[in-house]
Amino acid sequence: MMRRQPQPRPAPLLAALALAALAVATTACERDAGAVTADAPLLIAGAADLMPAFTALGEDFEAATGEEVVFSFGSSGQLAQQLIEGAPMDLYAAADAAFVEQVLAAGVGDPGTQDTYAFGRIALWAPEGTWGGWTSLEDVAADEAVDVVAIANPEHAPYGRAARQAFERAGLWDQVQPSIVYGEHIADTQRLAASGNADVAVVAFSLALAAEEAGDGTWLLLDEDLHEPLQQDLLVVAEDPDRAALAERFVDHLGSEAGREVMRRYGLLLPGEAPPAGGTG
């Protein structure tokens, strides 16, 4: 079986998102936990699938309030561990409610602020030039041109766990497991396919839509019954009352009609909301 040679592909949005995740997460980790002051920017730890939507929401929030927002994007599990270890954040938006519960169990955050803000979906994604015309996971597993399939690490990335569940429920995990490579988080997983280091990736629907918006890639939305629901919860973790109030203002903006419009645009849905059309489905 011939391995498709990796081809460099211009994907400025994907590169920017991956670099933003690395740079902002590094900055957050380097901060002294006691250095957050009342006039510091609003600090939000967000799952990597939120990068496109939260970046847009942050810009809108800053324009409306004059308050600066700084995001730290990464895998939900890794962010949860950072919070438990004292990372100075004001709001935590996870891709899995279980990680919010984990943070609360460690004594971090206000349990009265826990709220479900979206249910995530997963999609097959590949750049335009390498899309194989797949209509199902079975097609991917049967395609002899597919040697490498990227998913996020299921150990700490909810979207990676959902991808593995999808292959398992389709009865394909044993067949595809030798071809699997893991991204650190879901944006890193998409980067693997964008760079040609994977033939196809199972990514967050939000990232597939963001790439399509930027004119790159083809996607196939996968049946939500193939995995456990990706219930995405948030939690105010600021200890200072003024900072907690600022975090609540961002939550209110997220839940506003304008905020929900942004979330729907990137396929981050609440019950009753229909996913955007497009892709191959």
Q: Tens digit of pLDDT per residue, the chain (281 long)?
A: 223 333 334 344 444 444 444 434 433 333 333 444 557 899 999 999 999 999 999 999 999 999 999 999 999 999 999 999 999 999 999 999 999 999 999 999 999 999 999 999 999 999 988 999 999 999 999 999 999 999 999 999 999 999 999 999 999 999 999 999 999 999 999 999 999 999 999 999 999 999 999 999 999 999 999 999 999 999 999 999 999 999 999 999 999 999 999 999 999 999 999 999 888 75
The residues spanned by each domain of the chain are: 14-119+229-265, 120-226
Give the sign of the dihedral formed by CA 164, CA 278, CA 96, CA 76.
positive
In this prediction, residue 281 carries a pLDDT of 52
- Highest CATH level, class, for 120-226: alpha beta
Taking the CB of residue 73, how many other CB atoms lie within 10 A of it? Answer: 28
Q: How far apart are CA 281 and CA 79, in angstroms?
A: 33
195: helix, strand or coil: coil
Q: How far apart are CA 28 and CA 177, in angstroms?
A: 34
Looking at domain 14-119+229-265, does it have CATH number 3.40.190.10?
yes
Stated pTM of the model: 0.86
In this prediction, residue 27 carries a pLDDT of 36
Identify the H or E element spanning 46.
Answer: strand 42-47
Between the alpha carbon of residue 193 and those of residues 69, 136, 176, 186, the distances in Å are 30, 18, 16, 11
In this prediction, residue 211 carries a pLDDT of 96
In this prediction, residue 228 carries a pLDDT of 97
In this prediction, residue 279 carries a pLDDT of 81
Give burial (CB, 10 Å; 0-12/13-18/19+) of 158.
Answer: buried
Please report how the helices 12-30 and 186-194 are oriented relative to each other, as an axis angle in degrees rounded to 10. 140
- For residues 195 and 148, the answer to whether their CB atoms sit within 8 Å is no
In this prediction, residue 127 carries a pLDDT of 95
Note whether 14-119+229-265 and 120-226 share their fold: yes
Q: How far apart are CA 99 and CA 219, in angstroms?
A: 28
